[in-house]
Structure 1
Amino acid sequence: MLFAAGFGTRMGALTKDRPKPLIEVAGRALLDHALDFARDVPVRVVNAHYHADQIEGHLAGSGVHVSVEHPDILDTGGGLKRALPLLGDGPVFTMNTDAVWSGPNPLALLSDAWQPERMDALLMCVPLARAVGRKGGGDFALSPDGTLSRPGDVVYTGAQIVKTAALQGVEDDIFSMHRLWEDAAARGRFHGLTYPGTWCDVGHPEGIALAEEMLERANA
Structure 2
Amino acid sequence: MRNRPDAVMLFAAGFGTRMGALTRDRPKPLIEVAGQALLDHALALVADAGIKRAVANTHYMADKIAAHLAGRDVALSHETPDILETGGGLRHALPLLGQGPVFTMNTDAIWQGPNPLRLLAEAWDPARMDALLVTVPPENALGHGGAGDFLRDRNGRLSRGKGEVYSGVQIVKTDALADIAEPAFSLNLLWDRMLADDRLFGVSYPGRWCDVGRPEGIALAEAMIGGGDV
Q: What TM-score do you get using the length of structure 1 for normalisation?
A: 0.97
Equivalent in the alignment of 1:136: 146
Unmatched runs of 5 consecutive residues or more in structure 1: none
Q: Match of 1:104, SS? A: coil
Q: Does 1:14 align with 2:22?
A: yes
Determine which of 197, 200, 211 is the counterpart of 2:207: 197
Determine which of 49, 54, 64 is the counterpart of 2:64: 54
Q: CA deviation at 1:125?
A: 0.4
Q: Does 1:70 align with 2:80?
A: yes
Q: Distance in 2 between matches of 1:3 and 1:125?
A: 18
Q: Deviations over 1:52-72 (max 9, x none)?
A: 000100101101001110110
Q: Match of 1:123, SS? A: strand
Which runs of structure 1 show a deviation greater than 3 angstroms over 4 or more consecutive aligned residues?
A: none
Q: Distance in 1 between matches of 2:147 and 2:180?
A: 31
The answer to which of 84-93 and 143-152 deviates more is: 143-152
Q: Does 1:45 align with 2:67?
A: no
Residue type of the partner of 2:65?
I
Aligned length: 218
Q: Distance in 2 between matches of 1:154 and 1:44?
A: 27
Residue type of the partner of 1:135?
G
Q: CA deviation at 1:152?
A: 2.1
Question: 1:21, 1:29 within 8 Å by CA — same for their partners in 2?
Answer: yes
Q: Distance in 2 between matches of 1:158 and 1:46?
A: 14
Q: Distance in 2 between matches of 1:26 and 1:70?
A: 32
Q: Does 1:127 align with 2:137?
A: yes
Equivalent in the alignment of 1:181: 191
Q: Distance in 1 between matches of 2:171 and 2:227?
A: 29
Q: Distance in 2 between matches of 1:172 and 1:56?
A: 27
Identity of aligned residues (%): 62
Q: Does 1:217 align with 2:227?
A: yes
Q: Deviations over 1:113-140 (max 9, x none)?
A: 0000000010000100000111121111
Q: Match of 1:172, SS? A: coil
Determine which of 13, 25, 32 is the counterpart of 1:24: 32
Residue type of the partner of 1:115?
D
Q: Match of 1:209, SS? A: helix
Q: Match of 1:125, SS? A: strand
Question: 1:100, 1:201 within 8 Å by CA — same for their partners in 2?
Answer: yes
- The Cα RMSD (Å) is 0.9
Equivalent in the alignment of 2:4: none
Q: Deviations over 1:158-189 (max 9, x none)?
A: 00000001012223211110111011111000
Q: Distance in 1 between matches of 2:146 and 2:12?
A: 23
Q: Distance in 2 between matches of 1:116 and 1:133?
A: 32
Q: What TM-score do you get using the length of structure 2 for normalisation?
A: 0.93
Q: Distance in 2 between matches of 1:45 and 1:34?
A: 12
Q: Does 1:110 align with 2:116?
A: no
